[in-house]
């Protein structure tokens, strides 16, 4: 039960309840909705209890099983309060960097393009919040110098101002770099070269959707849609792990969930489909040879 020290509006309570629903999604990997909450009011010795119904999406999902969740209360009981506090604080701090992932975890059906772009937007937003003053790379420094040199060669003031405005963000990290930086922070033993290749392809796909409306060179749409679906499945696995890591879930728990948990094959397959894991990771462990008497 959550006790309040000062009065709040129902809208404030709805937002707080939504934060706990989001945390439940993360800790259980399930869209199963929480029950309708009760509100307890007290005036002197008189108490009232109300069941609170409000407009909210309640997906038709089965309750999560203990063997399906990334973690459980027994693992978290000594630091559960800390996890909840960290979740509330970082959700407020990172905003869309967190909830754009959770937006696709509401039991709703998305078009492949919508789901994929939503995940990329979230990762880009998270990078901007986490690294607002990131030290520029050598390539970014060279780009800034080059842009400055080109602009200085323009004599007409209005043309110079126009070009400065067009190129003011040219030296910022590319979308590929932002995706790579964020995914590299997830401690689930992915190879750097594989993350780099995956980040590049994701950036290319996002740009094709944003600037050309679909696949750029008119490839078969079914193949394009399948690639977006596969990329989204892999992004969802890594993004989910990233948020869990940010709110304090231990590295060993994350790696167990990805590689060893009862339903880990689905997550490993999603990563292998896009090259983040070697296909060898999908093969079952070789059984021990029977001892000979």
Q: What's the confidence (pLDDT) of residue 60? A: 75
Q: What's the confidence (pLDDT) of residue 65? A: 81
Q: What's the confidence (pLDDT) of residue 166? A: 63
Asked if 245 contacts 184 with a C-beta cutoff of 8 angstroms, the reply is no
What is the per-residue pLDDT across 145-168, written as a single tens digit (0 to 9) for each?
776 777 677 777 776 677 666 666
Across residues 268-289, what is the average pLDDT? 83
Q: What's the confidence (pLDDT) of residue 171? A: 58
What is the per-residue pLDDT across 196-229, written as a single tens digit (0 to 9) for each?
999 999 999 999 888 776 666 666 888 889 999 9
Across residues 43-70, what is the average pLDDT? 81
Q: What's the confidence (pLDDT) of residue 135? A: 57
Q: What's the confidence (pLDDT) of residue 3? A: 66
Q: Which has the higher per-residue pLDDT, 172 or 209? A: 209
Q: What's the confidence (pLDDT) of residue 293? A: 42
Residue 288, pLDDT > 60, answer no
Q: What's the confidence (pLDDT) of residue 2? A: 64
Give the C-alpha separation, 156 to 141, whole Å: 26
Q: Which of 86, 98, 90, 104 is nearest to 125 (CA)?
A: 98
Give the C-alpha separation, 257 to 75, whole Å: 13
Cα 186 → chain centroid: 11
Q: What's the confidence (pLDDT) of residue 163? A: 66
Q: Is 248 left (phi over 0), alpha (psi -120 to 50) or beta?
A: left
What whole-number percentage of the chain has pLDDT above 90? 46
Q: What's the confidence (pLDDT) of residue 291? A: 45
Residue 94, pLDDT > 60, answer yes
Q: What's the confidence (pLDDT) of residue 164? A: 63
Residue 268, pLDDT > 90, answer yes
Asked if 78 contacts 110 with a C-beta cutoff of 8 angstroms, the reply is no
φ/ψ of residue 288, rounded to 5: -70, 140
Residue 92, pLDDT > 60, answer yes
Angle (nearest 5°) at CA 95 between 89 and 101: 110
- Per-residue pLDDT band for 248 (boundaries 50, 70, 90) equals very high
Q: What's the confidence (pLDDT) of residue 10? A: 80
Across residues 239-246, what is the average pLDDT? 97
- Which tokens is 196 given? 């780099």
Q: What's the confidence (pLDDT) of residue 167? A: 61
Q: What's the confidence (pLDDT) of residue 139? A: 60
Mean pLDDT of the chain: 85
Q: Of the given ranges (5-14, 24-33, 116-125, 179-188), which has the lowest mean pLDDT?
A: 5-14
Across residues 264-293, what is the average pLDDT? 79
Across residues 81-103, what is the average pLDDT? 94
59 Cβ neighbours under 8 A, 6+ residues apart: 31, 32, 33, 106, 107, 108
């Amino acid at each position: 039960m959550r006790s309040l020290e000062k009065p709040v509006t129902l809208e404030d309570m709805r937002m707080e309840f939504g934060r706990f629903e989001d945390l439940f999604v993360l800790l259980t990997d399930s869209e199963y909705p929480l029950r309708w909450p009760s509100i307890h009011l007290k005036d002197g010795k008189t108490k009232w209890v109300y069941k609170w119904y409000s407009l909210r999406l309640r997906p038709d999902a089965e309750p999560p099983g203990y063997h399906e969740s990334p973690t459980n209360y027994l693992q978290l009981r000594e630091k559960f309060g800390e996890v909840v506090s960290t979740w509330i604080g970082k959700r407020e701090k990172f905003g869309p960097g967190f909830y754009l992932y959770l937006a696709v975890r509401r039991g709703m059906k998305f078009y492949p393009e919508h789901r994929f772009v939503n995940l990329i937007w979230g990762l880009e937003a998270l990078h901007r919040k986490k690294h607002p003053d990131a030290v520029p790379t050598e390539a970014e420094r060279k780009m800034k110098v080059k842009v400055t040199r080109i602009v200085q060669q323009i004599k007409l003031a209005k043309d110079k101002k126009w070009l400065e405005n067009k190129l003011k963000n040219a030296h910022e990290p590319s979308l590929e770099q932002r995706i790579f930086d964020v995914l590299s922070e997830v401690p689930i033993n992915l190879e750097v070269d594989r993350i780099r290749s995956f980040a590049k392809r994701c950036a290319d796909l996002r740009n094709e959707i944003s600037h050309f409306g679909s696949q750029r060179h008119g490839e078969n749409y079914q193949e394009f849609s399948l690639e977006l679906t596969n990329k989204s499945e892999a992004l969802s696995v890594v993004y989910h792990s990233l948020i869990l890591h940010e709110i304090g879930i231990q590295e060993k728990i994350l790696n167990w969930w990805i590689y060893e948990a009862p339903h880990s094959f689905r997550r490993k397959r999603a990563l292998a489909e896009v090259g983040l894991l070697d296909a060898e990771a999908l093969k079952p462990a070789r059984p021990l040879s029977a001892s000979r008497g």
